[in-house]
């Protein structure tokens, strides 16, 4: 007969949960997204996170916070300082710290090809050095910008029009005669309604989220530059991960690069159908319209980072 004390001890041992090595190794990462899950530009990231959490279960789990927790413009800084683990948002948000980030908006080939031809390695190295970040991949690549107005333009010029613009394309539209101003996206609708602005630069996606499709009549293209939004990991955090954890995230980056063009095509079709229903007329101003901002930013990049520009240009074009 087993003594009561031994039996009790045995029962206690049996009751202790058995932790598998995989479960014990799982690490939680906090990621900041520049927009909330309901906004079209952030949906690919939340979709990627959900897939990553499923496929990397037992290794990596990602929790996402949005701009309500950390202001969009500060998220990259929080990443650099190690207060968050991951960042998803436009590269031009941190161009003041990393001038080379402009090149992501100039890319003409898909992220998968950039990984194959060596461009990714160059981009990762510069992010390591200047932003304390591991450059995992880029989402929503290939979504182009257009100029939307409530009034028609003459001879491809925006003379006399006041447009909301951001640094990414401000010089470009000013060269076409526009007067520019900056305001948060949330203020654009009221500015259109009261006549403070006559239009704005914006990607193909998202006009209906803000209700702008009811207030503009023209979309000028061809689309220019790229709405690049990289996924970054704090460099110290990346190095602290196990080889298996890093490999799983790299595999998921490659997966995103494979399915990303399919996601983009699906969303492009939805957005174009919405613009057509809204009665917004597309006006093609010819290939030089699209080349204009590219020329400006390559010139700026050759000034601010000549060696980098020379090395990367042929790889992303």
Question: pLDDT by residue (tens digit) across 227-256?
Answer: 989 999 999 999 999 999 999 999 999 999
Number of helices (H), then strands (E), in the chain: 13, 11
Order of all β-strands in the sheet with 145-149: 179-181, 162-164, 199-203, 145-149, 218-224, 281-284
Band of the pLDDT at 22, cuts 50, 70, 90?
very low
User: Do 211 and 244 reside in the same domain of the chain?
Assistant: no
Residue 9 lies in a domain: no
Whether pLDDT at 9 is above 90: no
Q: Can you state the angle between helices 306-316 and 287-304, rounded to 10 degrees?
A: 140
Band of the pLDDT at 167, cuts 50, 70, 90?
confident
pLDDT the model gives residue 64: 98
Residue 8 lies in a domain: no
User: Do 67 and 101 reside in the same domain of the chain?
Assistant: yes
User: Do 104 and 234 reside in the same domain of the chain?
Assistant: yes
Residue 11 lies in a domain: no
Residue 97 lies in a domain: yes
Q: Rounded to an integer, what distance in angstroms lies between the CA atom of residue 35 and that of residue 32?
A: 9
Q: What residue numbers bound the domain in which 75 lies?
A: 16-141+227-265
Q: Which tokens sit at 102?
A: 């402009």
**What region, left, alpha or beta, does residue 160 occupy, with left being phi > 0 and alpha being psi -120 to 50 degrees?**
left
Q: How far is CA 301 from the centre of its chain?
A: 20
User: Do 176 and 84 reside in the same domain of the chain?
Assistant: no
Closest CA to 254 of 51, 101, 74: 51
**What are the two backbone dihedrals, phi and then psi, of residue 47, each rounded to the nearest 5 degrees?**
-65, -40
Positive or negative, the CA dihedral 116, 251, 263, 121 is negative
User: Do 165 and 93 reside in the same domain of the chain?
Assistant: no
Give the other-Cβ count within 10 Å of 9's Cβ: 12
Q: Where are the alpha helices (DSSP H) in the chain?
A: 4-15, 21-25, 43-55, 75-80, 111-117, 119-131, 170-175, 188-193, 207-210, 235-240, 243-277, 287-304, 306-316
pLDDT the model gives residue 18: 38
User: Do 216 and 70 reside in the same domain of the chain?
Assistant: no
Contact assessment for residue 198 and residue 162, using Cβ atoms and an 8 Å cutoff: yes
CA distances from 306 to 185, 261, 312 (A): 33, 31, 10
Structural domains in the chain (count) = 2
Which CATH number belongs to the domain containing residue 310 in this structure? 3.40.190.170
CA distances from 315 to 230, 270, 299 (A): 18, 31, 17
Band of the pLDDT at 102, cuts 50, 70, 90?
confident
Residue 180 lies in a domain: yes
Segment 124-132 mean pLDDT: 98
Whether pLDDT at 57 is above 70: yes
pLDDT tens digits, one per residue of 263-301: 999 999 999 999 999 999 999 999 999 999 999 999 999
Whether pLDDT at 20 is above 90: no
Whether pLDDT at 168 is above 70: yes
Q: Which tokens sit at 67?
A: 């701009």
Give the other-Cβ count within 10 Å of 121's Cβ: 12
pLDDT the model gives residue 12: 39
User: Do 159 and 295 reside in the same domain of the chain?
Assistant: yes
Q: What is the mean pLDDT of the chain?
A: 92
């Amino acid at each position: 007969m087993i003594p009561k004390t031994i039996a009790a001890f045995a029962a206690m041992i049996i009751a202790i949960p058995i932790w598998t090595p995989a479960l014990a190794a799982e690490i939680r990462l906090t990621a900041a997204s520049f927009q909330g899950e309901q906004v079209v530009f952030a949906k690919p990231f939340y979709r990627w996170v959900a897939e990553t959490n499923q496929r990397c279960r037992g290794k990596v789990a990602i929790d996402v916070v949005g701009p309500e927790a950390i202001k969009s413009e500060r998220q990259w800084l929080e990443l650099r300082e190690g207060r968050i683990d991951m960042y998803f948002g436009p590269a031009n948000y941190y161009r003041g710290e990393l001038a080379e980030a402009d090149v992501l908006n100039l890319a003409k080939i898909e992220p998968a090809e950039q990984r194959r031809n060596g461009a990714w390695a160059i981009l990762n190295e510069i992010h390591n050095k200047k932003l304390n970040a591991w450059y995992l991949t880029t989402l929503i690549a290939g979504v182009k910008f257009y100029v939307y107005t409530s009034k028609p333009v003459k001879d491809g010029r925006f003379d006399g029009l006041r447009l909301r613009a951001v640094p990414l394309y401000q010089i470009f539209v000013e060269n076409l005669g526009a007067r520019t101003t900056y305001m948060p996206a949330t203020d654009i609708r009221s500015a259109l309604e009261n006549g403070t602005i006559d239009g704005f630069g914006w990607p193909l996606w998202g006009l209906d989220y803000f209700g702008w499709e009811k207030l503009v009549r023209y979309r000028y293209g061809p689309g220019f530059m790229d709405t690049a939004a990289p996924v970054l990991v704090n460099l110290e955090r990346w190095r602290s991960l196990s080889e298996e954890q890093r490999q799983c995230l790299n595999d998921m980056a490659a997966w995103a690069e494979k399915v990303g063009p399919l996601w983009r095509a699906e969303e492009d079709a939805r957005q174009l159908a919405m613009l057509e229903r809204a009665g917004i007329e597309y006006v093609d101003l010819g290939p030089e319209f699209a080349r204009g901002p590219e020329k400006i930013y390559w010139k700026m990049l050759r000034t601010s980072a000549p060696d980098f520009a020379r090395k990367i240009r042929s790889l992303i074009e």
